[in-house]
Amino acid sequence: MEAMKDATQSTVGLPFCKMHGLGNDFVIVDARTAPDLITEDTSRAIGHRSFGVGFDQLVVLRPSDVADLDVEFWNSDGSRANACGNASRCIGRIIMEETGKTEATFRTGHSLLTATSAPDGQISVNMGQPQLQWDQVPLAREVDDLMNLPIDGAPGAAGMGNPHLVFVVEDAESIELEQIGPGLEHHELYPERTNVEFIHIIDRTTLRMRVWERGGMITLACGSGACAAAVVAHLKGLTERKVTVKLDGGDLTIDWREDGIWMTGPTTHVFDGVLSQAFLDSV
């Protein structure tokens, strides 16, 4: 991402890079070297796919006194998120390319994460342990069984630094996400709204997942959602602790180990650019 650094020093405006993990796409702003201009309004403006750049999440990189970087996540509707799995893999790649090391650490709003290089150019990130208490997910009230919520379809709940609602269905392909996703995102049991995943089990080590992401969109992939889906599927007795999650944008490997949930998959650096001063002034 050297072009982004060069643009910071020579161009009026706000440099950024565009990356994606399995089509889950991100605008990344390096506030270590560029102005820290991100607000709710600028996040919405940059996130608009017709009038801005477009993204599933906006990522802001900042200096850290405890890790390689501090990281902030924004949704395209201007709301904040504490976790984003595929973006975390992209951040790990940025740090490792900068340092020449095979391991990176960074602090999100949820926790301190570690990323490592993996075979075939892939990146692994330890997303930590899932939150499996009702007030940690969080839910609006205590429920008897997090794996069988009092919602039609008996979905499971898990937190991954952000809330998730996971339905096990016969055929994830047949789910009309755009019809039922918004209502479930705003379900009264989730005071902070929720990501919504629909999975069907292919075998004990493979599942298919589609996702409605908090912030009001269908995304091609969701890393934290894949982790939550793997947790719910395992705790329901349907899969092993290590699974391949098949998403619209490709496959992630999720491995729930003693030290946390490791997620492995590819990342892609698409391009570097600069948001013009005129665009920023119009926000």
CA–CA separation, 147 vs 8, rounded Å? 48
The token pair at 49 is 């796919």
Catalytic residue among 17, 84, 90, 227: 84
The verdict on whether 17 is a catalytic residue reads no
Q: How many residues are there in the chain?
A: 283
CA–CA separation, 249 vs 267, rounded Å? 12
Sign of CA pseudo-dihedral 122, 125, 126, 129: negative
The verdict on whether 227 is a catalytic residue reads no
Beta strands in 99-224 (DSSP E): 103-107, 112-117, 123-126, 156-159, 163-168, 195-203, 206-213, 217-219
**Nearest by Cα to 260 from 139, 114, 158:** 114
CA–CA separation, 179 vs 52, rounded Å? 26
Collapse the DSSP code of 104 into the 3-class scheme (helix H, G, I; strand E, B; otherwise coil) and give the result: strand
At residue 118, what is the residue type? A
Residue with tokens 């069984």: 145
Catalytic residue among 17, 90, 222, 227: 222
What does DSSP say about strands 112-117 and 123-126: parallel, antiparallel, or unpaired? antiparallel
* Helices then strands, each counted (H, E), the chain: 6, 17
Collapse the DSSP code of 7 into the 3-class scheme (helix H, G, I; strand E, B; otherwise coil) and give the result: helix
Residue with tokens 């499996």: 132
H/E element, 160:
none
Residue with tokens 């992939």: 221
Q: Which residues are catalytic?
A: 84, 222
